[in-house]
Amino acid sequence: MKTKQNNFLINAPMHVFVIIVAIIWIFPTVGLLITSFRPSADVASSGWWTVLAHPFNFTQFTLSNYRDVITNIGIGRAFVNTLIITIPACTLPIIIASFAAYAFAWMEFWGRRFFFILFVGLLVVPLQMTLIPILRIFNQLGLSGSFVGIWFAHAGYGLPLVIYLMYNYISGLPSEMFESSTIDGATPFQIFKSIVLPLSIPAIASITIFQFIWVWNDLLVALVYLGGTPDVAPLTVRISALVGSYGQNWELLTAAAFVSMALPLIIFLSLQRYFVRGIMAGSIKG
């Protein structure tokens, strides 16, 4: 009993610190959320914290801000465009990286170490250096301003990191499984499909979170390769345009921001049980 009390006293400062940091992070988000449901006149005349005063009244909130940004301002179309961009841009690099990481970790072929170092070395190449050369290639191929072009761009930019993370996980799998499967006559593809993929679900889930959030929140790559055309513009491009067009309409900007935040938050909460497992699994071997 005394040991538990001592442990509680020792860990109490850490718990308090974590709670304070969590409140600091959540507090502005709560303010933005409340602002997104307030009428324009109320936002202009009083701070968001005034709605928490007693007595609390639900009639001071409205859904008109969300209706305006989704239907009238074009955030609804931008949300669909972002989905069209993000799903293939996450799926392609993860599929390719899974095969590549398995080959680098457990298959013998000429130049394996050289090519792995080459891929990992691409992590240090600044993304901005590649924008103009790749944009010129896309213009020549007719891919600029299209979803196909942005899929290839995001897949290419994400591959080095995804391969590296998948390699760390797959290379840590027990070698006995591969040896016994090979003795039983399994082909490399059968081993990959039946052993590597099922065991790599935590790593794939955590990488999916990283890639999804990066692509979903990307502005620079989308702006360069897609431009500002409303037919293909994602949420980040549309919201950045709102800042200039509706800079004083905070209720519309916050509503658009929360439309953009909703799906990544759902994805993270759905896959969070795999997140720590996938990140930590590749760091400890043996």
What is the number of alpha carbons within 13 Å of residue 99 lying toward its C-beta? 6
106 and 35 within one domain: no
Q: What is the DSSP string of 163-208?
A: HHHHHHHHTTS-HHHHHHHHHTT--HHHHIIIIIHHHTHHHHHHHH
94 and 184 within one domain: yes
Residue 98 sits in a domain whose CATH number is 1.10.3720.10
Q: Number of folded domains in the chain?
A: 2
Q: In this structure, is residue 286 part of a structural domain?
A: no
174 and 236 within one domain: yes
Q: In this structure, is residue 264 part of a structural domain?
A: yes
CA 97 to chain centroid, in Å, comes to: 17
107 and 122 within one domain: yes
156 and 47 within one domain: no
Cis peptide before 202 (omega within 30 of 0): no
Q: Within 10 Å of residue 62's Cβ, how many Cβ atoms?
A: 15
Domain ranges, residue 150: 66-281
The Cα angle at residue 159 between residues 139 and 240, in degrees rounded to 5: 60
165 and 137 within one domain: yes
269 and 153 within one domain: yes
Q: Within 10 Å of residue 189's Cβ, how many Cβ atoms?
A: 10
265 and 211 within one domain: yes
| Residue that is last in its domain, among 14, 41, 62 | 62
Tell me the pLDDT of the chain (286 aa) as tens digits: 556 556 666 677 787 888 888 888 888 888 888 888 888 888 778 777 887 776 766 667 888 888 888 888 888 899 999 999 999 999 999 999 999 999 998 888 888 889 988 888 888 888 888 999 999 999 999 888 889 999 999 999 999 999 998 998 888 888 888 888 888 888 888 888 888 888 888 888 888 888 999 999 998 999 999 876 778 889 988 888 887 665 577 788 888 888 888 888 888 777 777 666 655 554 444 4
83 and 30 within one domain: no
90 and 58 within one domain: no
Q: State how far the Cα of 44 lies from the Cα of 252, in Å rounded to an integer.
A: 12
The alpha helices in 37-126, defined as continuous H runs, are: 40-45, 64-67, 75-106, 112-121
| Residue that is last in its domain, among 43, 62, 81 | 62
| Residue that is last in its domain, among 12, 31, 62 | 62
Q: Using only C-alpha atoms, what is the Rg of the chain?
A: 24
